[in-house]
Structure 1
C-alpha cells in the first residue's frame, strides 16, 4: 500500500513512456512527474541463461543527479538515459518498481 501511495502522483499526473512493449519478455513503463520518476517492469518469461536487458529511461535531465529510492545509489541522468538501470529481475513472472528522485 505504501508503494502505491508513493507512485500514485507519478501515475496520475506524470508523463508516460513505454520503454518496452508487453510482448512475451520484458515489458516496462516509466512515469515522470516533477522531480520524481518510476519504472514499473515485468518479466513475463526468460529463456535459460538469457540476460535481462536494462531499458533506457526517458524524460530525465542528463546533467542532474538522481537518487534511487530502492538502493540509495546516485546517478547522473545520463546513465539511465544512455545505459539503463539494472532491474534485477530473476525468472518468469518477476516484477519490480524502481523510483528515482532528482536531488
Structure 2
C-alpha cells in the first residue's frame, strides 16, 4: 500500500498535482479540444514518449482529474476527458496561458 504524502499547505498540493511538463499540457488540450483518444493526445504532445503519456494519464486519472472510457471494440478504443474536478482547473490553465502569451510577446519585443 502506497504511503500518502503529507502536504505543508494547499499550494504545495496543487503544485504536486500539476508538476511535470506533461500533466498541465494534457489537461490543457483536453480542456480545449474535449474528449480525445490516446493517439490524438500523442499527436498534440509533440516529444512525449508512449511510456510518459501512459504514466501521465494514469496519474491524472488517479487524481480524479481525467476520466478514461474504454469501449469493448476491436481494435480497442479508449477516450479521455476531463472530470468536473479537472474542469475546475481550466480558469487556472487559462490564466497561465494568458500570462505565458504576454511574456512571450514582451520577450519578442525586447529581442528586436
TM-score, normalised relative to structure 2: 0.27
- Structure number with the higher strand fraction is 1
TM-score normalised over the length of structure 1? 0.29
